[in-house]
Structure 1
Amino acid sequence: KGRLPGTNRVANLPLVSSAYDMVSTAYTSTKESYPYVKSVCDVAEKGMKTMAAAAVSGAQPILSKLEPQISTAKEYACRGLDKLEEKLPILQQPTDKWG
């Protein structure tokens, strides 16, 4: 359908983006309300960023070799998402439109 590729397309579905916004707001609010939780979350976030950076730098040569397979898998995933969007119109509704 010529829309956004892969994960960007999923993230921009109204249902997914509004659910993400809701969870993100609750997470931020909880961090601001409880200093101990904030310090634990900050340490966890820093650790995750460090691990992600290490994983990406280490995986880059492998990802380069797998690019054709990744591209094919992405194409199939986008086709599957097309069908899913057709069968589940609720994906186009933000969470606040439910009920």
Structure 2
Amino acid sequence: MTADAEMSAGNRDAEVTPATRFNFMGRLSSLPAVVTLWDEAARFYARLKDSDVVVGKTLRLVESGAELVAEGSRSVVNKFNRQLGYVDDLACRGLDKLEDVYPDVAKKQPGEILKDICIYGCKKCIDAKDYGVRKISDIKAISADVLHYAAHPLQTVSACTTATLAYSQELLEFVNAALDKP
């Protein structure tokens, strides 16, 4: 091999290396929920592959084709390394925001997250029920007062007159006290 060919092969290897530096997929695949989901999907896929000879051979053929396409497209992917790096950076920032807003995503197992969601949902349902009961009680009390005032107008007028007289008496006492001051 000539020096130029060796250098060209070295450049090609150097171009391939940056593609492995993308870390979004690594970070995403380290999340407990994703690990659990991936394991479940892999188990299902393995069962599907083993379920029937024709299905198994077809899936193995598709896997080999996908591997060939992945190997063949590596040079094309490397040409877009910078753009893919930008997309990887954006995806990592989005993952950072998700982990900031929901820190449990990176720490808890899916069962724990689901349990927390159920507890939170139950608490909100109980709060909504309590709020509804309080409002219904308030409406019931107001309705009873309105019904009482509508059914007993003489008592209502008498109560209003008594309240007005009491207020007027207090006002007169205040005015007298103010006038008596030098």
TM-score (normalised: structure 1): 0.74
Write out the 4+ residue segments of structure 1 that deviate beyond 4 Å after TM superposition.
none
Q: Which residue of 2 aligns with 1:46?
A: 64
Q: Which residue of 2 aligns with 1:23?
A: 41
Q: Any conservation in 2 of the 1:18–1:95 contact (CA below 8 Å)?
A: yes
Distance in 1 (alpha carbons) for counterparts of 2:66 and 2:84? 24
Q: 5 Å matches for 1:1-99?
A: 5-57=23-75, 59=76, 62-63=79-80, 66-67=81-82, 69-89=83-103, 91-92=105-106, 93-97=108-112, 98=114
Query: Unaligned 5+ residue runs, structure 1?
Result: none
The structure having more radius of gyration, on CA atoms, is 2
Distance in 2 (alpha carbons) for counterparts of 1:40 and 1:76? 37
Alignment length, in residue pairs?
92
Q: Which has the higher helix share?
A: 2
Aligned Cα root-mean-square deviation (Å):
2.4
Query: Unaligned 5+ residue runs, structure 2?
Result: 1-21, 116-182
Alpha-carbon offset, residue 78 of structure 1: 1.6
Distance in 2 (alpha carbons) for counterparts of 1:95 and 1:27? 21
Q: Any conservation in 2 of the 1:15–1:90 contact (CA below 8 Å)?
A: no
Change (3 A) 1:31 1:70: closer
Match of 1:18, SS state, is helix
Distance in 1 (alpha carbons) for counterparts of 2:93 and 2:77? 26
